[in-house]
């Protein structure tokens, strides 16, 4: 394990910061290089090496991989669902070309492993709404979902054709307090906590009864590392695994927050993100991940809400 040299691309983002810190705990600070197009996130400062990388520049990426003796890449750079709908061609370009650059370099340099996240956004209005299975009808309606679905099949292709050990999870909406979210449809479930702590109120851009699959960040980080550490022979899915934890609506999370902040008031002003949310399943069947590498979430809505509020209140 100590011989690994890991490059995390997109390390200053919502997942990247927490994943980099978790990997540094396991593999050692100097074995995990944080990389991003933007400046180093303050939470990463003095915790290990940082390099500036544009994943769209394949040569720059390739040079860094050779220079730093990288053995594994975690690719987190992407444009998410809501931002993607504002600039579809940019989202397609970054989400596809960034992945292809990493897969090519992994193939050429014979890297040990690659991690790349997909999303529940691969599913569309024709997929089952409840307990959406691993394999089902998949007809995404957002550019983000299309890019994730195509990306899953590129991962599958590089694994079968070139032997690149690339692994992937279809994350649900991820909820966290350490670094800000990057423009997703599920971001309301983060903003609501900040609104509750700052001024006892929040206006949701999704309707009150919009159920979506969600997960607390500690579960997502653990799932990622557990998948990456699972024996290759146990993995039956080389596109991307469904994983699940919690499913709730804006009204339900508001009720949970009111248990801590009784004066909290939620109002609703749905916008263009409602149509995106309506196209996604309400809950996910993750039994294949459970069977293959023993995936199990730890946080439910109550435990997550308590932890989010405590930490946001501490940082106020």
Cα torsion through 89, 94, 95, 97, rounded to 10: 110
Q: Is 173 in the site for ligand NAD (CB under 6 A)?
A: yes
Picking from 231, 242, 239, 244, the residue whose alpha carbon sits closest to that of residue 293 is 231
Cα 206 from Cα 250, distance rounded (Å): 7
Nearer to ligand NAD, 117 or 195 (CB): 117
Q: Which listed option, ligand SER, ligand NAD, none, makes contact with residue 81 (CB within 5 to 8 Å by class)?
A: ligand SER
120 three-state secondary structure: helix
Nearer to ligand SER, 186 or 239 (CB): 186
Q: Which of residues 112-131 bind ligand SER (CB under 6 A)?
A: 119-121
Over the window 98 to 137, marking each residue x when it contacts ligand NAD by CB under 6 A and - when it does not, the resulting string is: -------------------x-x------------------
Size of the site for ligand NAD (CB under 6 A): 28
Q: How far is the CB of 82 from ligand NAD (least distance, A)?
A: 11
Q: How far is the CB of 170 from ligand SER (least distance, A)?
A: 8
Rounded to whole angstroms, what are the CA distances from 259 to 15, 177, 254, 264? Answer: 28, 19, 9, 9
Q: Which listed option, ligand NAD, ligand SER, none, makes contact with residue 78 (CB within 5 to 8 Å by class)?
A: ligand NAD
Q: How far is the CB of 84 from ligand NAD (least distance, A)?
A: 9
Round the CA-based radius of gyration of the chain to a whole number and report it: 19
Q: Which tokens belong to 223?
A: 């799932």
Q: How far is the CB of 56 from ligand NAD (least distance, A)?
A: 5
Catalytic residue among 144, 216, 241, 299: 144
Is 162 a known active-site residue? no
Q: Is 198 exposed, middle or buried (0-12, 13-18, 19+ CB in 10 A)?
A: exposed
Q: Is 140 in the site for ligand SER (CB under 6 A)?
A: no
* CB of 202 closer than 8 Å to CB of 253: no
* Percentages of the chain per state (helix, strand, coil), in multiples of 5: 45, 15, 40
Cα 291 from Cα 231, distance rounded (Å): 13
- For ligand SER, the binding residue among 12, 20, 31, 81 (CB under 6 A) is 81
- What residues are labeled active site? 144
Q: Give the binding site for ligand NAD (CB under 6 A).
A: 9-10, 12-16, 36-38, 53-56, 76-78, 80, 94, 117, 119, 171, 173-174, 181-182, 184, 186
């Amino acid at each position: 394990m100590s011989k690994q040299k890991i490059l995390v691309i997109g390390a200053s983002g919502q997942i990247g910061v927490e994943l980099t810190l978790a990997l540094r705990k396991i593999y050692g600070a100097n074995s995990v290089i944080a990389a991003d197009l933007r400046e180093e996130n303050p939470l990463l400062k003095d915790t290990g090496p940082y390099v500036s990388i544009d994943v769209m520049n394949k040569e720059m990426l390739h040079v860094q991989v050779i220079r730093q003796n990288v053995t594994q890449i975690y690719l987190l750079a992407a444009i998410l669902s809501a931002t993607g709908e504002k600039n579809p061609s940019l989202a397609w370009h970054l989400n596809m070309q960034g992945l292809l650059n990493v897969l090519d370099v992994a193939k050429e340099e014979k890297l040990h492993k690659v991690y790349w996240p997909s999303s529940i956004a691969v599913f569309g209005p024709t997929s089952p709404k409840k307990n959406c299975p691993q394999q089902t009808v998949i007809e995404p309606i957002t550019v983000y979902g299309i890019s994730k679905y195509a990306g899953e099949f590129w991962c599958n292709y590089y694994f079968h054709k070139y032997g690149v050990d690339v692994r992937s999870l279809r994350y649900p909406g991820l909820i966290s307090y350490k670094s800000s979210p990057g423009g997703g449809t599920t971001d309301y479930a983060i903003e609501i906590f900040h609104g509750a702590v700052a001024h006892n109120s929040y206006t949701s851009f999704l309707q009150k009864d919009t159920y979506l699959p969600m997960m607390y960040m500690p579960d997502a980080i653990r799932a990622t590392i557990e998948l990456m550490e699972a024996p290759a022979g146990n993995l039956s899915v080389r596109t991307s695994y469904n994983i699940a934890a919690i499913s709730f609506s804006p009204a339900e999370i508001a009720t949970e927050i009111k248990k801590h902040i009784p004066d909290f008031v939620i109002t609703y002003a749905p916008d263009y993100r409602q149509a995106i949310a309506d196209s996604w399943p309400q809950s996910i069947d993750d039994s294949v991940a459970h069977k293959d590498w023993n995936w199990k979430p730890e946080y439910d809505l109550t435990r997550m809400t308590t932890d989010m509020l405590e930490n946001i209140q501490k940082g106020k």
